[in-house]
Amino acid sequence: MLKKSISIISLLFLLSCQSTINIKNDLEIKGLIRLKNSIDNNKISDLGIKNFKILSKELNIAEFTCNSKDIEKIQNSPLVKYVDIDKKMYLENFKVSNVDNGFQPNDTFFGLQWNIKNINVNKAWNITKGSPNIIVAIIDSGVDPNHPDLKDNLLPLIDVWSESGESDIYTSGSLKVNYGGRDGNGHGTHIAGIVAAHINNSSGISGIANVKILPIKSTNHMGETSASIITKSILKAIEKKANVINISIGGEKQEGTQALLDAVNLALSKNIVFVSATGNESNRDAKLIKDITVPAAYPGVIAVGASTKSNRVANYSNGGKEIDVLAPGGESNSKDLKIYSTWPTYITYEGYRSGVRGPYAALSGTSMASPHVAGIAALLLSNEPNLTPQQVRLRILSTAKDVEAIGYDTASGYGIVDAYKMLLSNKHSN
């Protein structure tokens, strides 16, 4: 996720609206509700709730609609633990660069991937290149289903965006493009390539791990989404038995919903490694350090900040006591300093806006840093599949390389991740 002037993406903010809400009485509103006990449809309908759909029996969470005049009664009901009302949010503006035309998708393109070498992934491949039994869920804007560097590693797309009754049509003048279940933005395809583009196939780039990607489309082409859609996406990843979840989104701590926190905790309890970006709102050159966003700030989540090609903390990378590690996120002022990865083979919304064409592009931000950690977590689980999320987190943190300061600090956490050292570390030390 990137600061507006730097690169890419704060996919959404998730707002909690559990206090008294001033809404016109004739409006229909929707959101998520968590009940204190098992769900009784008769009692629920007595509250004025309609279009009630259970999302998680374990959490007693459901989505619903109601007339706004009934919301206070619902919130105050003894049956209700909390209500989260949806708020539409937007993808921050970002900048993206074409890959120079002289670099065609072939093995020589790996020479541009300084990020892989900076964290010793190429050395880690001597131990393992991953396993197709490991599933990494990417909750994002979707993935290009036909990208030649990705398609064989993709599981069927889960389109939570359209399942929630939302459309994904871009219109501009006479132009009308229906992206349907495809990635209409580009961000999700870029994230997927960092994790699992084909390794050693004489074409394009190399991802970090030969694993399966579970693409969960959670935004439209502009990055618009809602709290309920992201929560449902996490629950879908749990249902599909993902081993790792990557989510390059963020919101201020006070804007995180209870439902989001509950879903994250459920994922961790189901032995899923959860990785998230810290945010891109800082300007370290000006001594402006912003807090780490949620869900990265939640306990148990591996919170990932961004490092540069020169192994420094990126200027935009948020910091605080919740940060765990850094991974390559790049800088905004040069294509060579950004992260090269896959980009949709068709024209996306951002392509129409900025002239960017795939099948590869260069981006920067903590959004790019987070999937590096998801990727090396997948390598570790490929090699040692019985590790718990807590053990994976400890291995990654304990083998990180110090930068800028000795020991833990609130800018870099425990340092920059090292995939090779992580795999070599004594697994019994956990």
The residue type found at 216 is: I
The residue type found at 405 is: A
Two tokens, residue 229: 């859609």
Residue 411's contacts (CB-CB under 8 Å, 6 or more residues apart) are 284, 289, 305, 313, 317, 319, 323, 404, 405
Nearest CA to 304 out of 336, 285, 280, 334 is that of 280
Asked if 187 is an active-site residue, the reply is yes
Residue 43: what are its φ and ψ, rounded to 5°?
-65, -35
Nearest CA to 130 out of 206, 194, 196 is that of 196
Two tokens, residue 322: 């919740």
Residue 105's contacts (CB-CB under 8 Å, 6 or more residues apart) are 148, 149, 203, 204, 205, 359, 360
Q: Which listed residue (77, 149, 187, 324) is catalytic? A: 187
Q: Which listed residue (77, 97, 233, 367) is catalytic? A: 367
Residue 184's contacts (CB-CB under 8 Å, 6 or more residues apart) are 141, 142, 168, 170, 177, 220, 221, 348, 349
Helix, coil or strand: residue 229: helix
**Are 214 and 158 spatial neighbours (Cβ–Cβ below 8 Å)?**
yes
For residue 68, with 0-12 CB atoms within 10 Å meaning exposed, 13-18 middle and 19 or more buried, which class applies? middle
Residue 336: what are its φ and ψ, rounded to 5°?
-70, -15
The reply to whether omega before 359 is within 30° of 0 (cis) is yes
Q: What does the alpha-carbon distance between residue 259 and residue 257 come to, in Å, rounded to a whole number?
A: 5
**Are 293 and 251 spatial neighbours (Cβ–Cβ below 8 Å)?**
yes
Asked if 183 is an active-site residue, the reply is no
Q: Which listed residue (84, 86, 140, 144) is catalytic? A: 140
**Are 264 and 59 spatial neighbours (Cβ–Cβ below 8 Å)?**
no
Q: What does the alpha-carbon distance between residue 149 and residue 114 come to, in Å, rounded to a whole number?
A: 19
Residue 61's contacts (CB-CB under 8 Å, 6 or more residues apart) are 32, 33, 34, 54, 55, 231, 235, 259, 262, 263
Asked if 221 is an active-site residue, the reply is no
**Are 217 and 159 spatial neighbours (Cβ–Cβ below 8 Å)?**
yes
Strands 325-328 and 360-363: unpaired
Q: Known catalytic residues?
A: 140, 187, 367
